[in-house]
Structure 1
Amino acid sequence: MKTEQLHSLFLTCHSVCTDTRKIKKDDIFFALKGDNFNGNTYAEQALSKGAKYVVIDEAQYKTSTRAIVVKNVLETLQELARFHRRFLNVPIIALTGSNGKTTTKELINAVLSQKYKTTATRGNLNNHIGVPLTLLAMGCNTDIGIVEMGANHLKEISFLCHIATPDYGYITNFGKAHLEGFGGVEGVIKGKSEMYDYLSTNNKTVFVNGNDTIQLNKTSTSKRFVFGNNAIADVNIDFTEAQPFVICKYNNLYIKSQLIGDYNFNNIAAAIAIGNYFKVEDKAIKTAIENYIPNNNRSQIIKKGTINIILDAYNANPTSMYAALLNFEKQPGHKTAILGDMFELGVDAKKEHQSITDLAISINIDRVIFIGDNFHQSEIHSDKSMKYSNFEDFKTQFDFSEIKNTTLLIKGSRGMALERLIDLLPSH
């Protein structure tokens, strides 16, 4: 079946689904495969649950005229998304970066939705499956699409740009993330810059943080819109303070966010700048930023008993860990940090964990607890720190009643799932 024909069928469906547990009536089900599952085996179940069509790539599972057999389900999903994006022809903003992608995407969405009907990446569905699903979630009433793109190796951003064909793009930063897949920091810069390469080649607009010299150099020949607090900025946004929440100044308005840490200033500034570019009124931008509350373990503020918790356990890499610790040091009162391993660092894992260990015990934090095999192998010479090789050892051996009357930072990679700590902390 040609893509155009499949697209005609797709337009008659409610939405795209890849998980039979979430099937809704009149969905179109794509039978994707993974290391431990074969979606083809669920095709009949999808139909029985109300799917209007199922797309499969193993003919023996065709039990209905509503089953569409293709050569490769994943590639068909991607091509359908690309076709649908061209069919709608709405402006699309793409963003990537080492840190802050999802928060920035949520902020941009909050700002632009003050004036436009937006469709944005849900959660962090930002890979070779998530990007097509985001595009296929857009409808004829979508004014602007906002597509987050993640990558852990070279050529991935280029591939995602080929599917989404964005009109605008923004890179949050270049940091020490996914070093194993990219082969080092230079690989990270090269990989993320594939977005700039695509936009520049196609004469599209890039949004650039004017305070980031790497970004400025990478986009020197691009069509760009610069924000910052310097002479080359198209829009000026000034950092005021982060005690603990970020406050910034824009067009004589003070915007008081509910995001902690000065490292969140650039995320906020990008959203303000993009709102400015798309002519969202200043007061509406202020309202959107001030009403945005972080969730999903990203810089959440939680109060439990005598403990003020900064839960930043969604993910971690050396760059974000470094920024979080330096910001945490500025917090008043007694401070405790619980830090979990950082993943996907490859041959740099030992060096980077030792570097973060040295930083954490050298700055003004009263107590530091390290969890994970990598941190456990780090050398620690301090009586204010403890280390555990895994979460279960920490859970069974540590006396949680000791954590009280303190501000607590919890940060680690997604695989560490340190949000589990919340239920273990005393509530009095």
Structure 2
Amino acid sequence: MVPAALIIKIIFLLQAAGLVTVWLYWIQTKEYRLDRFTVFLKNPDGIRELLVIPTLIKFFIFAVGFVFNPFLLLYLVEILLLAIYFVIQILKRKLRKPVFTKRVVRICLISLVFTFTTLFLYQTEYWVRFFLSELTLLVGPLVGIYVTGISVKNTLEREKKTAKDILEKFSPTVIAVTGSYGKTTTKDFITQILSSKYIVLSTFKNQNTHFGIVRRIISDLKKNHKFFVVEIGAYKKDEIRKIAEVLKPDVAVITGLEPQHLELFGSFENLKLAKFELVESLGEKGLAFFNITNPEVTTLQNLARRLGKNIKTYTYALNNKGRLDATSHIERIDSDGATFKITIDDETKEIRTNLYSKRLIENLTGAILVARRFGVEWARIREVCRKLDLPDGTLNVFKTKSGLTIIDDSYNSTPHGFEAAIELLSQKEGKKKLVATTGIIELGDQSYVIHKKLGELLDAVCDLVILRNKEFITAFKDGMRDPTKIRLITDSKKIINLIDKNTNSKSIVLIEGKLPWVVDHYRKI
């Protein structure tokens, strides 16, 4: 017979493997940053996804059980239930798994050493071993992040030097894009328009971390690239400045400013100063483009003028009557896209585009201005604008086989982006309109105000709102005249079931924020 002790250890290892796998998935998703991981751990999504409650229950059982020993039998029940849960998740292919990079494998090995030592080698009371082993499930990955971080930091510095040497050797014009929203689409539009005349390299999708940027340069930048268009993201001050020291950008584009990642930046003022680091990094005769559709960006433009450098500043906006370097006014939006007029250097042109959203045309205005400053002819611009490519999950509109219209805005969720998606939903004709959303995380003390405003906008457009994150339910309801429109559902399968129950071929569903299983479901049917 198999000893009972061995069976218990196998059950423990099954649930331990599941827990570590889920933790590693989210650690990797948060870019191995403990600051981002900690913020996620505090919100309801993080508490649910990281199984915080079951973990706390285990430690509560130990606390009581060491005084009242029979109570420890409940621990066996819980780890058995967790093991069954993870086996079911695996069989249903729903277990969140990290990409097994070298770093993830190393963190796994460090966690395994910790757990194996306490469970099998450490000689102490039986239950104490399990208690210590449970601690290692939490401590092991965190220690792994720190230990592997040392070699990662050394690798990054080495690769930054290599990337810097390559840039100096080939000398492309570096166009860097940053902002709280609109970075990826603006970067993509600039790339697509410039590519109609020049050989251009750009970063992939939202490849905006230091590693992503330098590795793109090292692997793909060639002598014949005239331009390198790069998106730069940040969560704290000095992060843009550090990558800008490598890039030495010739052009800076500020797409917009709004509260985002405030729990990491500390304040909105810190966020603005962090984005302005890109403009500060420009050399003499650098070009800085500012989207002053967003009033907060005007403050950065004023700061740029006071830098004391010979920087040329340009402004652009949508529906602005002021005298700017580029202004666009939408003539009409229909089922195939939009027609708008853009004025640059007192010259007005009519442009037809496949874009539906005013906010995307706002980003396109900046991209056209940049392209014109580098000599791209109007004929080329017109041709590209007719068939622009959008990143996956950015206001992508498609129909299911049953005729249900889906607006997929799951790529990212910001206040500006959410409002743009609601605006697009309002423009679409549909018998019934639904929104499934996660809400927006990392907004700090601005969260309630922003979600209340979104609730007001949703109330005017939607018949039903499905919210996955209970953290925002009060704010949404306070913004809605009819709070019965909103339902709180945390399970993706139940979200899909509710959508199916309340829609038909004449309905429209907006998926806002990261709901990958929901999006995948409707793309397959």
TM bracket, shorter-chain basis: 0.7 to 0.9
Q: TM-score of the superposition, structure 2-length normalised?
A: 0.63
Q: 1:213 to 1:70 in 2, by over 3 A?
A: closer
Could you tell me which residue of structure 1 aligns to residue 373 of structure 2?
277
User: What residue identity is the alignment partner of 1:315?
Assistant: N
Could you tell me which residue of structure 1 aligns to residue 296 of structure 2?
214
User: 2:436·2:467 contact (CA, 8 Å) conserved in 1?
Assistant: yes
User: 1:93·1:166 contact (CA, 8 Å) conserved in 2?
Assistant: yes
**Structure 2 CA distance for aligned equivalents of residues 399 and 301 of structure 1:** 17
User: What residue identity is the alignment partner of 2:508?
Assistant: T
Q: Determine if the alignment matches structure 1 residue 402 to structure 2 residue 494.
A: no
Could you tell me which residue of structure 1 aligns to residue 339 of structure 2?
247
**Structure 2 CA distance for aligned equivalents of residues 179 and 122 of structure 1:** 26
- Alignment gaps of 5+ in structure 1: 1-31, 42-68
Displacement of 1:401: 3.6
User: 2:160·2:214 contact (CA, 8 Å) conserved in 1?
Assistant: yes
Could you tell me which residue of structure 2 aligns to residue 21 of structure 1?
none
Q: Secondary structure at the match of 1:169?
A: strand
Q: 1:88 to 1:260 in 2, by over 3 A?
A: same
User: What residue identity is the alignment partner of 2:315?
Assistant: V
Match of 1:385 among 477, 486, 496: 486
**Structure 1 CA distance for aligned equivalents of residues 221 and 314 of structure 2:** 26
Match of 2:279 among 196, 202, 216: 196
Q: Secondary structure at the match of 2:484?
A: coil
Q: Secondary structure at the match of 2:236?
A: coil
Residue-by-residue CA offset, 1:125-159 (whole Å, 9 max, x unaligned): 11111111232221001011101111111111111
Q: 1:425 to 1:212 in 2, by over 3 A?
A: closer
User: What residue identity is the alignment partner of 2:324?
Assistant: A
Displacement of 1:302: 0.4
Q: How does 1:250-329 map to 2 (within 5 A)?
A: 250=342, 251-304=347-400, 305-329=402-426
Q: 1:371 to 1:246 in 2, by over 3 A?
A: farther
Displacement of 1:394: 2.8
Return 333-342 or 100-109, whichever deviates more.
Answer: 333-342
**Structure 2 CA distance for aligned equivalents of residues 266 and 188 of structure 1:** 22
**Structure 2 CA distance for aligned equivalents of residues 76 and 290 of structure 1:** 42
Could you tell me which residue of structure 1 aligns to residue 162 of structure 2?
80
Q: Indicate the structure (1 or 2) with the bigger Cα radius of gyration.
A: 2
Q: Determine if the alignment matches structure 1 residue 340 to structure 2 residue 438.
A: yes
Q: 1:425 to 1:121 in 2, by over 3 A?
A: closer
**Structure 2 CA distance for aligned equivalents of residues 155 and 35 of structure 1:** 27
Return 178-187 or 383-392, whichever deviates more.
Answer: 383-392
Q: TM-score of the superposition, structure 1-length normalised?
A: 0.76
Q: Determine if the alignment matches structure 1 residue 141 to structure 2 residue 224.
A: yes
Aligned length: 363
Match of 2:428 among 331, 335, 357: 331
Q: Determine if the alignment matches structure 1 residue 227 to structure 2 residue 327.
A: no
Could you tell me which residue of structure 2 aligns to residue 97 of structure 1?
179
Q: 1:88 to 1:302 in 2, by over 3 A?
A: same
Return 364-373 or 160-169, whichever deviates more.
Answer: 364-373
Q: Secondary structure at the match of 1:157?
A: helix
Displacement of 1:377: 5.5
Return 175-184 or 221-230, whichever deviates more.
Answer: 221-230
Q: How does 1:357-396 map to 2 (within 5 A)?
A: 357-361=455-459, 363-376=460-473, 378=475, 380=477, 381-395=482-496
User: 2:257·2:294 contact (CA, 8 Å) conserved in 1?
Assistant: no
**Structure 2 CA distance for aligned equivalents of residues 342 and 70 of structure 1:** 30
Displacement of 1:351: 4.9
Displacement of 1:37: 3.7
Could you tell me which residue of structure 1 aligns to residue 521 of structure 2?
423
User: 2:408·2:510 contact (CA, 8 Å) conserved in 1?
Assistant: yes
Q: 1:345 to 1:218 in 2, by over 3 A?
A: closer
User: What residue identity is the alignment partner of 2:178?
Assistant: T
**Structure 1 CA distance for aligned equivalents of residues 381 and 495 of structure 2:** 44
Q: Determine if the alignment matches structure 1 residue 179 to structure 2 residue 235.
A: no
**Percent sequence identity over matched residues?**
24
User: 1:259·1:293 contact (CA, 8 Å) conserved in 2?
Assistant: no
